[in-house]
């Protein structure tokens, strides 16, 4: 198939490269010339394992190109909309201006029979509204909604081998046509037995936000239990292990700690509440407000615990912050709990020196006031406390004895429950964690 991918951020760039890898002819379109230049040169403008290799191999086949020129879309059959839908400033609702701009600038170039395929996470009702815009400007074209479930850090794998496919298509013959196009695009995944759900626009939109709302709820659930564990001396990691053996519950996404961040879960649960409110179903999702609040409390708790291990005051203390990205294997700092804690520690008087294997460039841009180190060792030297805020492998594998030689005082906060308390205590450290005695 001849495919365009409009919006080449974390989602679109990976999608474009993977579609080319699957044998399609792909044109990535983005308004940002620097991003287009980097992608065209085979450089990923952000950190995503496997993406640079894929960009180079796909570009070498001649099947993957990038441009800022929307008019080139005229030669293509299917057009993925993969632009961002960030949270509006000062509101819970999603900002749809990028989606609207992408669709309205694409429509004049659509050839008869072309299919516009939405991938961005949008409030329910958006697809039907956009279908009206497509219909008005290009009556022979169609629109489908095909939500994306990829995780940053595993984006290439998740796109090449998705765990399910969801097509939101219009009723009747137009729906059949849209399904046929999507089946051709995803022929490889379908032939591998990937489960497929074909449904209407609204259901497809709700599948996506429901999935993220469920994941956010699962994380906040275990973090709420961690709060109770903290006041009883129980160990939340053991609770998660034990309840996780019940396969109705499952162990995944029960890692208690600093909670969720990133460009998806936080803004998606807020946009979902805002949309439900507009639709008169706000009561249905009031629990998501609690999910959000539990999540925010984790950050406060991490700062409080750091103060506690420093004998009640952060003022003038040197704190080594390990981790700034919202999760490992990513350089993404959008709504990052780690970065938030680093900033709060500094605001309360600590001398923060932060290290992250990939996220420092992004963190510096947003928070130039923090001090950054170029290695774990540099950050830790003479520190009064070390706080692990993103569970990068490099931090999980630190040797407590050797590491203890560097610091000023052996105090560690394990913000992600990713270290072995016994090993650290045996090496003479004061070890504290969220939800663990
Ligand atoms: C999330 C979903 O997992 C994807 O399925 C979805 O496609 C994506 O959003 C999206 O909407 O685009 P992602 O934001 O990449 O993916 O990150 P997750 O792996 O879901 O992690 C989110 C946050 O939850 C991270 O800050 C992570 O540290 C935290 N987390 C995750 C926990 O605190 N505990 C856990 O047990 C799991």
Same domain, 302 and 403: yes
Per the annotation, the verdict on 18 as an active-site residue is no
In a domain, 405, yes or no: yes
- Length reported for the chain: 437
Confidence of residue 197 (pLDDT cuts 50, 70, 90): very high
Q: How far apart are CA 236 and CA 90, in angstroms?
A: 34
Residue 92 alpha carbon to ligand 1 centre in Å: 19
Give the DSSP H or E segment for 414.
strand 411-414
Residues 382-411 pLDDT 10s? 999 999 999 999 999 999 999 999 999 999
Domain that includes residue 388, residue range: 233-437
H-state helical runs in 143-200: 155-160, 172-185, 187-191
For 344, the 3-state DSSP assignment is: helix
In a domain, 167, yes or no: yes
In a domain, 150, yes or no: yes
Confidence of residue 16 (pLDDT cuts 50, 70, 90): very high
Q: How far is CA 321 from CA 42, 148, 309, 365, 429, in A?
A: 32, 33, 14, 17, 16
Number of separate domains in the chain: 2
pLDDT of residue 12: 97
Same domain, 274 and 415: yes
Angle, helices 286-309/201-230, rounded to nearest 10 degrees: 40
Mean pLDDT of 110-123: 97
In a domain, 225, yes or no: no
Same domain, 190 and 249: no
pLDDT of residue 331: 96
Confidence of residue 154 (pLDDT cuts 50, 70, 90): very high
Same domain, 63 and 120: yes
The finding on whether 175 has its CB within 6 A of some atom of ligand 1 is: no
Same domain, 54 and 149: yes
Mean pLDDT of 319-323: 98
Q: How far apart are CA 400 and CA 346, in angstroms?
A: 25
Q: Above pLDDT 70, what percent of the chain?
A: 100
Taking the C-alpha atoms of 207, 212, 213 and 218 in order, what is their torsion angle to the nearest 10 degrees? 130
Protein residue whose Cα sits closest to atom 19 of ligand 1: 151
pLDDT of residue 219: 98
C-alpha gyration radius of the chain: 23
Q: Please, which residues have CB within 8 angstroms of residue 127's CB and are 6 or more apart in sequence?
A: 118, 143, 145, 168, 201, 202, 204, 205
Same domain, 294 and 390: yes
pLDDT of residue 11: 95
Residues 82-115 pLDDT 10s? 999 999 999 999 999 999 999 999 999 999 999 9
Pocket test for ligand 1, best of 120, 123, 211, 212 (most atoms within 8 A of CB): 212
Same domain, 187 and 249: no
Q: Please, which residues have CB within 8 angstroms of residue 294's CB and are 6 or more apart in sequence?
A: 220, 223, 224, 227, 259
Average pLDDT over the chain reads: 97
Q: How far apart are CA 112 and CA 382, in angstroms?
A: 67
Same domain, 192 and 242: no
Q: Please, which residues have CB within 8 angstroms of residue 398's CB and are 6 or more apart in sequence?
A: 376, 419
| Model confidence pTM above 0.95 | yes
Pocket test for ligand 1, best of 47, 152, 396 (most atoms within 8 A of CB): 152
CA 87 to chain centre: 14
pLDDT of residue 399: 98
The residue ranges of DSSP E strands in 124-253, in sequence order, are 142-145, 165-168, 196-199
Q: How far apart are CA 98 and CA 87, in angstroms?
A: 12
The finding on whether 9 has its CB within 6 A of some atom of ligand 1 is: no
Q: How far apart are CA 99 and CA 120, in angstroms?
A: 8
Q: What is the CATH number of the domain that holds 400?
A: 3.40.50.720
Ligand 1 atom nearest 253 alpha carbon: 36
In a domain, 122, yes or no: yes
Q: Please, which residues have CB within 8 angstroms of residue 187's CB and are 6 or more apart in sequence?
A: none
Confidence of residue 209 (pLDDT cuts 50, 70, 90): very high
Confidence of residue 125 (pLDDT cuts 50, 70, 90): very high
pLDDT of residue 218: 98
- From 154, 183, 199, the end of a domain falls on 199
């Amino acid at each position: 198939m001849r495919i365009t991918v409009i919006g080449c951020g974390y989602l679109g760039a990976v999608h474009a490269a993977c579609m080319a890898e699957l044998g399609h002819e792909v044109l990535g379109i983005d308004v940002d010339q620097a991003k287009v230049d980097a992608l065209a040169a085979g450089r990923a403008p952000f950190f995503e394992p496997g993406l640079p290799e894929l960009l180079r191999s796909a570009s070498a086949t001649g099947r993957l190109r990038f441009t800022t020129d929307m008019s080139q879309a005229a030669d293509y059959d299917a057009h993925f909309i993969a632009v961002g839908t960030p949270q509006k400033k000062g509101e819970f609702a999603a900002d749809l201006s990028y989606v609207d701009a992408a669709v309205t600038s694409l429509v004049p170039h659509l050839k008869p029979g072309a299919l516009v395929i939405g991938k961005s996470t949008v409030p329910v009702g958006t697809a039907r509204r956009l279908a009206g815009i497509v219909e008005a400007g290009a009556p022979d074209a169609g629109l489908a909604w095909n939500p994306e479930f990829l995780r940053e850090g595993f984006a290439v794998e998740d796109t090449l081998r998705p765990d399910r496919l969801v097509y939101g298509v219009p009723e009747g013959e137009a729906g059949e046509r849209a399904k046929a196009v999507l089946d051709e695009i995803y022929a490889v995944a379908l032939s591998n037995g990937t489960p497929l759900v074909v449904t209407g626009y609204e259901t497809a939109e709700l599948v996506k936000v429901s999935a993220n709302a469920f994941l956010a709820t699962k994380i906040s659930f275990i973090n709420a239990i961690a709060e109770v564990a903290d006041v009883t001396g129980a160990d939340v990691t053991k609770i998660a292990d034990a309840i996780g053996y019940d396969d109705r519950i499952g162990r995944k996404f029960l890692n208690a700690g600093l909670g969720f961040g990133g460009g998806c879960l936080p803004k998606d649960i807020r946009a979902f509440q805002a949309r439900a409110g507009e639709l008169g179903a706000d009561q249905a999702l009031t629990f998501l407000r609690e999910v959000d609040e539990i999540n925010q409390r984790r950050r406060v708790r991490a700062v409080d615990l750091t103060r506690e291990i420093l004998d009640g005051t952060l003022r003038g203390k040197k704190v080594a912050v390990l981790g700034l990205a919202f999760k490992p294997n990513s350089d993404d700092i959008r709504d990052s709990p780690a970065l938030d804690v680093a900033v709060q520690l500094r605001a309360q008087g600590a001398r923060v020196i932060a290290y992250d294997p990939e996220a420092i460039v992004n963190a510096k841009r947003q928070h130039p006031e923090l001090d950054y180190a170029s290695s774990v060792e540099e950050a830790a030297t003479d520190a009064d406390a070390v706080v692990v805020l993103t569970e990068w492998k490099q931090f999980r594998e630190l040797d407590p004895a050797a590491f203890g030689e560097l610091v000023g005082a052996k105090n560690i906060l394990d913000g992600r429950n990713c270290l072995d308390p016994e090993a650290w205590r045996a090496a003479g450290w004061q070890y504290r964690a969220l939800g663990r005695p």
